[in-house]
Amino acid sequence: MKTIKEIKNLKNKKVLMRVGFNVPIGDSGIVNEKEDWRIRAALPMIEYLLEKEAKIILMGHLGRPELSQKPIKSKAHKVKSQKHSLRPVARRLGELLDREIKFVDDCVGNEAKDVALKMQAGDIVLLENLRFYKQEEENDEEFAKNLAELADIYVNNAFSVSHRAHASVCAVTKFLPSYAGLLLEKEIKLLSEAIHNSKRPSTIIIGGAKAKTKLPVVKFVMDKFDHILVGGVVANVILKAKGIDTGKSLLGDVDLEEAKKIDLDNNKLYIPFDVIVCNSRIKRAELSPVGKIGDERILDIGPDTEELFSKIIADSETIIWNGPMGKFENENFLSGTKKVAEAVVKSKGYKIVGGGDTITALDQLGYLDDIDYVCTGGGAMLVFLAGKKLPGIEALN
């Protein structure tokens, strides 16, 4: 995979860079300073290009807006839903860099081309939300070609979308010399080392609700980590696959027969042996041993499981965490996630976390600054940890 550092002369080159600026926009239409970490993560790459006197054209997405049916070669369209506009991101980026960011109301079309043509070395342009066009998620080559016409070089600096076969990630590489950005290179290196060359003992913590995407991770890392700690819906599925009663607990859209193909009796795999359930009759949280759930729902790990998980984490030299231990948004079911978070931040091991819910939980608990590395892509991280190829990285190769 070629990286941007291989290009010796970037002066006056127009660099079209895919960024991962999918950040929450508040009701006031601004980016909260506590939630701008994805923007901050891209700053070293932008500053690198500024030092090289390049012309920087940034493109990204925000949320899932209603897709435009407009032809690609139409005039620039106006954004109907301001909540999906990247304009607030341009303002926040300008504040962080202390320089003007030119915002373009479209990502293709005449306005984008005119702005690109008039750029001077050191100028920074942010294009409007790519996902206002359905062609983006269709990996449409004509759309990608229109994007490519704006620049001389393409850079993927967005690990967070590299698991998506989208036009700004994959098809665009057919029309421009293409390179990995500093952030993409860094995240691939960190995760690769954590999987294949980590300091031992190593521990991976897998939780959350997306069991279908996380079970393949459990299977792939079985022989790569010393300890695999599982909570959330993922744990529910494994318990069910082992023939243990889970009551009315959520299992997600999972084929239990597929789950049974995992070595569920492996001594590296740790699942809850006591849990917190929601008693639907009296509507309160109750402690229950695993296997005696009845008609209740598992919503957190229990105190004995917390203690075991915490001890394993404390002795670990490498820790990867993706997914909370339970329904942490509810105070009654926060304890498991909180105890694991406390153990992670107290550990002397190297800590990598990813996934929106995990990051939100750590931020709410005030622990996010104690993490060594916060991965910008939860979904991409899971695909990578499952040993699968990421389309965005393959396109660069």
Three-class SS state of 159: helix
379 is catalytic: yes
Looking at residue 284, its pLDDT comes to 82
Looking at residue 255, its pLDDT comes to 86
Name the active-site residue from 208, 336, 354, 379. 379
Name the active-site residue from 94, 122, 252, 356. 356
| Chain CA centroid to CA 376, Å | 5
Three-class SS state of 154: strand
Task: Dihedral sign for Cα 321, 327, 331, 335, please.
Answer: negative
Name residue, tokens 């041993």. Answer: 289
38 is catalytic: yes
Answer for the pair 336, 231: CB distance below 8 angstroms, yes or no.
Answer: yes
Looking at residue 72, its pLDDT comes to 46
26 is catalytic: no
Residues in the chain: 397
62's CB contacts (< 8 A; 6+ apart) are 21, 22, 23, 25, 84, 85, 86, 89, 129, 131
What interhelical angle do 378-385 and 211-220 show, nearest 10?
40
As annotated, the residues of the chain forming the CATH 3.40.50.1260 domain(s) are 4-185, 198-366
375's CB contacts (< 8 A; 6+ apart) are 159, 187, 190, 191, 352, 353, 354, 381
Helices (H) and strands (E) in the chain, counts: 14, 15
Residue 252 region by backbone torsions, left for phi larger than 0, else alpha for psi between -120 and 50, else beta: left
| pLDDT tens-digit map of 205-256 | 999 999 999 999 999 999 999 999 999 999 999 999 999 999 999 999 888 9
Answer for the pair 344, 313: CB distance below 8 angstroms, yes or no.
Answer: yes
387 is catalytic: no
d(CA 5, CA 283): 58
Strands of 102-104's sheet, edge to edge?
A: 102-104, 124-127, 55-59, 14-18, 153-156, 178-180
What is the b/e burial string over 195-226, where b = at least 16 CB atoms within 10 angstroms of the residue's CB? Answer: beebeeebbbbbbbbbbbbbbbbbbbbeebbb
* Options 3.30.830.10, 3.40.50.1820, 3.40.50.300, 3.40.50.1260; CATH of 4-185: 3.40.50.1260
Question: In a structure prediction context, what are the per-residue pLDDT tens digits for the chain, which is 397 residues long?
Answer: 999 999 999 999 999 999 999 999 988 889 988 889 999 999 999 999 999 999 999 999 999 886 544 444 443 444 446 789 999 999 999 999 999 999 999 999 999 999 999 999 999 999 999 999 999 999 999 999 999 999 999 999 999 999 999 999 999 999 999 999 999 999 999 999 999 999 999 999 999 999 999 999 999 999 999 999 999 999 999 999 999 999 999 999 888 998 999 999 999 999 999 999 997 766 789 999 999 898 899 999 999 999 999 999 999 999 999 999 999 999 999 999 999 999 999 999 999 999 999 999 999 999 999 999 999 999 999 999 999 999 999 999 9
Give the homologous superfamily in CATH for domain 198-366: Phosphoglycerate kinase, N-terminal domain (3.40.50.1260)
d(CA 34, CA 354): 16
Name residue, tokens 């029309």. Answer: 175
Name the active-site residue from 38, 52, 214, 339. 38
Name the active-site residue from 14, 87, 210, 327. 210
